[in-house]
């Protein structure tokens, strides 16, 4: 049992990178209402609880990936029926980015099915980053492994975020991917951080991992030298033909718990309720927002799989009174923070 003294010793709300695995496990073991109460309190101390950051995803190079990630539709090793597409040209990307902006996205995330980008590919992607930036949107790319020079080139182009997930715990990782190591992932994250690009890093639930694996994943993320600014928590999108198709589904309340623990461990990071929303009820998503999730992918497609229909999401935001977070809202957020600390939501919104 997690006692009040245990919780006090954890100094909840402080930004710490020295969490112990036992702390993470103790948070997972809290009664659900206590866990959500603490998570919501820490969330309100740092964010407007009714604002959600909106990103839109585009697959700029699809399929034929040499890696063997057991969850992925895009690996060349599995028969998933996915049609491969070469790198899109700049005009195609700009058109999609303009549409995303018109639909309210503030960040445009471009994903490519690479192990690591080649020089010519990176040069083309750099032009995309520059173009999307000129539209006034934040930019994010996910291109596989990067070295220090590649990260610096992306930084020089003005890239805001690099997404590179740890996916799961170090020990379970070997069951999921054999073509690159956990250390490779950590090295890429370090290169991105050293270049001064914001880090987007999280994982996937529903790959047959244990609760300990989930705790270890969150522990690794929360004990990096600096917390990732963005932490995507994906629920596996099961793809026929991949080895993980047919995996046991995540219990929705366990998913919510994981979001709440992520919020408590990384109080100032955006926690993204990422892939898998199309399989979740509105009620589960509402609990995720209550637990501290404050970012989503918006638009009816992720990279290769489905996301909720845009009209459905607009209806959900309306029902929940959720507003879109504007870019660079940090100063405004600090001013509003006090309003949200103790007031009921209705009063805080007034």
Q: Which residues bind ligand SF4 (CB under 6 A)?
A: 65, 67, 69, 72, 74-75, 113, 144
Give the span between the Cα atoms of 331 and 348, in whole angstroms: 17
Residue with Cβ nearer ligand DTB (40 or 247)? 247
Local structure of 326: helix, strand or coil: coil
Residue with Cβ nearer ligand SF4 (106 or 168)? 168
Residue with Cβ nearer ligand SF4 (26 or 244)? 244
Phi, psi of 127 (to 5 degrees): -65, -35
Query: What track of x and - describes contact with ligand DTB for positions 132 through 171 (by CB under 6 A)?
Result: ----------x--------------------x-x------
* Residue 2 CB-density burial (10 A; 0-12 exposed, 13-18 middle, 19+ buried): middle
From the list 185, 193, 214, 272, the catalytic residue is 272
Give the span between the Cα atoms of 229 and 147, in whole angstroms: 20
Give the span between the Cα atoms of 291 and 260, in whole angstroms: 5
From the list 140, 185, 193, 201, the catalytic residue is 140
Q: Note if 288 is an active site residue.
A: no
Helix segments in the chain, DSSP class H: 4-9, 21-28, 32-46, 90-102, 119-134, 148-156, 170-176, 182-194, 211-222, 252-265, 282-290, 310-320, 330-342, 345-349
Residue with Cβ nearer ligand SF4 (74 or 294)? 74
Q: Note if 272 is an active site residue.
A: yes
Which of ligand DTB, ligand SAM, ligand SF4, none is residue 87 near (CB under 5 to 8 Å by kind)?
none
Query: What track of x and - describes contact with ligand DTB for positions 290 through 309 (by CB under 6 A)?
Result: ------------xxxx----
Query: What track of x and - describes contact with ligand DTB for positions 179 through 218 (by CB under 6 A)?
Result: -----------------------x----------------
Q: What's the token pair of residue 258?
A: 């994981």
Local structure of 233: helix, strand or coil: strand
Give the span between the Cα atoms of 39 and 45, in whole angstroms: 10
**134: part of which helix (H) or strand (E)?**
helix 119-134
Q: What's the token pair of residue 112?
A: 């490519």
Q: Which of residues 96-115 bind ligand DTB (CB under 6 A)?
A: 111
Residue with Cβ nearer ligand DTB (154 or 275)? 275
Q: Which of residues 10-39 bind ligand DTB (CB under 6 A)?
A: none
Q: Nearest to residue 197, comparing CAs of 223, 221, 230?
A: 230
Q: Note if 109 is an active site residue.
A: yes
Which residues fall within 8 angstroms of residue 322, CB to CB, at 6 or more apart?
50, 51, 52, 289, 316
From the list 44, 107, 109, 193, the catalytic residue is 109
**In the complex, minimum distance from the CB of residue 36 to ligand SF4, in angstroms, rounded to a whole number:** 31
Q: Note if 200 is an active site residue.
A: yes
CB 276, CB 234: distance < 8 Å? yes
User: Which residues of this chain interact with ligand DTB, rule CB under 6 A?
Assistant: 57, 73, 111, 142, 163, 165, 202, 232, 234, 237, 274-275, 302-305
The catalytic site residues sit at 65, 69, 72, 109, 140, 200, 272
């Amino acid at each position: 049992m997690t006692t009040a003294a245990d919780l006090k010793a954890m100094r909840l709300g402080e930004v710490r990178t020295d969490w112990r695995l036992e702390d993470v496990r103790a948070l997972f073991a809290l009664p659900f209402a206590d866990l959500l109460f603490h998570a919501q309190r820490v969330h309100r101390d740092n964010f407007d609880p009714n604002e959600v950051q909106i990103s839109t995803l585009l697959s700029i190079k699809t399929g034929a990936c040499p890696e063997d990630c057991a969850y992925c539709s895009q690996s060349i090793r599995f028969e998933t029926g996915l049609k491969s597409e070469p790198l899109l040209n700049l005009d195609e990307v700009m058109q999609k980015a303009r549409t995303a902006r018109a639909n309210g996205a503030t960040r445009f995330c471009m994903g490519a099915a690479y192990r690591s980008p080649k020089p010519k590919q990176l040069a083309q992607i750099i032009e995309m980053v520059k173009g999307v930036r000129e539209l006034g949107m934040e930019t994010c790319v996910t291109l596989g492994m990067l070295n220090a020079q590649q990260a610096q080139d992306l930084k020089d182009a003005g890239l805001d975020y690099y997404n590179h997930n740890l996916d799961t715990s170090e020990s379970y990782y070997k069951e999921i991917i054999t073509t690159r190591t956990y250390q490779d992932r950590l090295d890429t994250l370090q290169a991105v951080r050293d270049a001064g690009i914001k880090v987007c890093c999280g994982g996937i639930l529903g790959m047959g991992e244990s609760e300990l694996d989930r705790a270890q994943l969150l522990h690794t993320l929360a004990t990096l030298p600096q917390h990732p600014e963005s932490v995507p928590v994906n629920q596996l999108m099961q793809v026929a033909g991949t080895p993980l198709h047919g995996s046991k589904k995540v219990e929705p309340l366990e998913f919510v718990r994981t979001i709440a623990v992520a919020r408590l461990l990384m109080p100032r990071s955006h926690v993204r309720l990422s892939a898998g929303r199309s399989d979740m009820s509105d009620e589960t998503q509402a609990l995720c927002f209550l637990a501290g999730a404050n970012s989503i992918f918006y638009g009816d497609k992720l990279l290769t799989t489905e996301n909720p229909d845009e009209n459905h999401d607009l209806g959900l935001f309306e029902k929940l009174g959720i507003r879109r977070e504007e870019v660079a809202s940090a100063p405004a957020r600090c001013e509003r923070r006090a309003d949200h600390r103790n007031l009921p939501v209705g009063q805080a919104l007034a």
